[in-house]
Amino acid sequence: MNPSPDSPRAPRHASLLLRCPLRAGVAAELTQLVQAHGGRILYHDQHVEAEEGQYFTSLKWDASDMTLTDADVAKRLAVIGGKSPAAEWSLHYSDRPLRMALFVSRDPWCLYDILARVSSGEWQVEVPLVVGNHLDLEPVARQFGVPFHHFPMTKDTKEEVETRQLELLKQERINFIVLARYMQILSGRFVQAYPNNVINIHHAFLPAFPGAKPYHSARERGVKMIGATSHYVTETLDAGPIIEQDVQRVSHRHSVADLVRLGRDLEKIVLSRAIWRHLQRKVIVLGNRTVVFE
């Protein structure tokens, strides 16, 4: 169905994330770049890490009537941000949705939650594929009309399987990957192919209880709170920059099965908040920490 000629054109929004060495005037230069060339600022937030001498900003504007080309905006940002390696920035336009791959194993709740948010239109993102190391969740992907790619893996086949996975992700122009209870440890090679673009949900309040079976460890420790943590994936297990966390009270009456049941809701909400912030271009990484704008 084609929109009628007089239907309102969707606005074209630009979202800038920038980190650069702190210097006077950088905020004014960025807002001036937008406003002097037809952009209308919709959101602007900033943060300074004084000790590291770093400036961070999240700037969003309506670019529908910009008088500069995207390439010219990028060139001027490179000058403002500075060419030093200490600077990094990304500019995303709303008419080019990000492409997200989902990696799963056997646990379905996070996959259902994500696919429901995408299929309902809550999230403007493309999900070209689901990758699973087991076939359990193929029916879930099929239910939402998303191609499922089965990559069974053992320690001996991991390198070869990851090579095929990376080829598929490149072929599908994937921008970032979500590990939705994916229970395989990614190699350093894989992680380096998507730096700070692999998001994991760990079912514990990190740094407590990293690794497999955190609910068993929590029960054994007799905790009075369980938690969930979403973080960018690094080669070191469950040690990447934290994006979002939350907790839930528990007591001696809760078995491991109870903790798993109570933890499911935490995992879904924490992972969805992290994905939403990433989609909104609100997360910048500094070392092993993040700046997460509202």
Ligand X SMILES: Nc1nc2c(c(=O)[nH]1)N[C@@H](CN(C=O)c1ccc(C(=O)N[C@@H](CCC(=O)O)C(=O)O)cc1)CN2
Give catalytic residue positions: 238
Binding of ligand X by 184 (CB under 6 A): yes
> With b meaning 16 or more CB within 10 Å and e meaning fewer, what string describes 43-71?
ebeeeeeeeeebbbbbbbbbbbebebeee
Residue count at the site for ligand X (CB under 6 A)?
17
Which CB atom, from 81 or from 214, has the smaller least distance to ligand X? Answer: 214
Instruction: Return the bridge partners of 57, or none.
Output: 18, 46
Which CB atom, from 39 or from 214, has the smaller least distance to ligand X? Answer: 214
Binding of ligand X by 182 (CB under 6 A): yes
* Contact mark string toward ligand X, 199..238, x via CB under 6 A: -x-x--------xx--------------------x-x-xx
Which CB atom, from 79 or from 183, has the smaller least distance to ligand X? Answer: 183
Other Cβ atoms within 10 Å of 42 Cβ, number: 15
The residue from 240, 250, 282, 284 that contacts ligand X (CB under 6 A) is: 240
Interatomic CA distance for residues 271 and 258, integer angstroms:
20
How far apart are the two ends of the chain, measured CA to CA in Å? 36
Binding of ligand X by 107 (CB under 6 A): no
The residue from 179, 218, 228, 270 that contacts ligand X (CB under 6 A) is: 179
Other Cβ atoms within 10 Å of 156 Cβ, number: 8
Which CB atom, from 15 or from 200, has the smaller least distance to ligand X? Answer: 200
Instruction: Supply 186's token pair.
Output: 């990614």
* Shortest Cβ 237–ligand X spacing (Å): 5
Stretch that binds ligand X, among 38-46, 51-59, 179-187, 254-262 (CB under 6 A): 179-187
Q: What is the DSSP string of 29-54?
A: HHHHHHHTTT-EEEEEEEEEETTTTE
Looking only at residues 114 through 173 of this chain, which bind ligand X when binding is defined by CB under 6 A? 155
Binding of ligand X by 185 (CB under 6 A): yes
Q: Is 120 exposed, middle or buried (0-12, 13-18, 19+ CB in 10 A)?
A: exposed
Which CB atom, from 26 or from 198, has the smaller least distance to ligand X? Answer: 198
Q: Is 15 exposed, middle or buried (0-12, 13-18, 19+ CB in 10 A)?
A: buried
Binding of ligand X by 186 (CB under 6 A): yes
Cα 282 to chain centroid, rounded = 10
Backbone angles phi, psi at 282, to 5 degrees: -115, 5
Which CB atom, from 196 or from 200, has the smaller least distance to ligand X? Answer: 200
Interatomic CA distance for residues 30 and 81, integer angstroms:
9
* Shortest Cβ 234–ligand X spacing (Å): 6
The residue from 137, 191, 243, 250 that contacts ligand X (CB under 6 A) is: 191
Residues that bind ligand X in the complex, under the rule CB under 6 A? 155, 179, 182-186, 191, 200, 202, 211-212, 233, 235, 237-238, 240
